Structure 1
């Protein structure tokens, strides 16, 4: 989705805050990054499955480090009430990210492509989240395409129902988890954004619903 960007003036007071633990932002298991770095192949041209697995994990680790940096930078700009909103939004984003990537890998679970797809998905969503938070630090908010929530919400529901109708029952519960994790993340993030940027919650929900529709469309194309 090509989104134009508009600059919103945001008044943020400086405050001394306690940094949200990077462990909570990062994925909740050890990545053995030091071990992987020591054995790092040429990730510009990975060939074997082993090289692809290592490079995909290293790529995710780099994106996660960038996210942690921009998250801490944004947090330092916020007063305490908005800091708590950001923390809640980030926790819910983690739950959504994990559910989304668990569904994305489900058709190859246990196979050689499993970690490649999984870490690739984590890296993709983490990069997008870092870009979103960077926009908040720079007072730049993407503009949605649709004029109101009804249009992307109807489209998202159609895409969701079509995908549910095509996938096997064993995958349907995972897709439901994705949708159930995304809704509270969207609402919490829009609560933060509206207080941070002075935009309406509707403005944010339209944009995020458009983005989720694109993600589900991509999932459908990958599955079929």
Structure 2
């Protein structure tokens, strides 16, 4: 059985593409999927950058909590996107050629939201109730 992280990497692996337009305007499904994959990679890189910034601002217990929260969030993100898109990791072909693009778009959306959440934590570290993000 494939692990979800491996399966995600396979499904969202970038296809070599010269497409530079909006994903919605891509001329075919392969280009749209590639575009969605590239957008997810960009959002994930920003999330990882913010995670690193926040981690340096936390004490050891805070870092442990952040690591645990991030791992739980990744599990949530992946399962939530499966739910939203009807994707079945047990039968990756069931969603057809559009499935990986839909999952990728969902993961991009949730990853961008998580980045906004981490930015708020950077501005207002845990415990500072006087801070408004």
Does the 8 A contact of 1:74 with 1:137 survive in 2? yes
CA shift at 1:103, angstroms?
1.1
Cα distance in structure 2, aligned partners of 1:197 and 1:42: 43
Does the 8 A contact of 1:43 with 1:51 survive in 2? no
- Unaligned 5+ segments in structure 1 are 1-26, 140-192, 200-224
Cα distance in structure 1, aligned partners of 2:85 and 2:13: 21
- Unaligned 5+ segments in structure 2 are 89-93
Residue in 2 that maps onto 1:80: 60
Q: What does residue range 55-204 of structure 1 map to in structure 2 within 5 Å?
A: 55-106=35-86, 109-139=94-124, 196-199=126-129
Cα distance in structure 1, aligned partners of 2:81 and 2:87: 11
Measured against aligned partners, the alpha-carbon deviations of 1:47-82 in whole angstroms (never above 9, x if no partner) come to 211111100111111100000000001001111011
Does the 8 A contact of 1:104 with 1:117 survive in 2? no
CA shift at 1:138, angstroms?
1.5
TM-score, length of structure 2 as denominator length? 0.77
Equivalent pairs counted in the alignment come to: 115
Measured against aligned partners, the alpha-carbon deviations of 1:24-54 in whole angstroms (never above 9, x if no partner) come to xxx8233544xx3x42412323121111110
CA shift at 1:117, angstroms?
0.9
Larger displacement relative to structure 2 (119-128 or 104-113) = 104-113
Residue in 2 that maps onto 1:28: 5
Residue in 2 that maps onto 1:42: 20
CA shift at 1:107, angstroms?
6.5
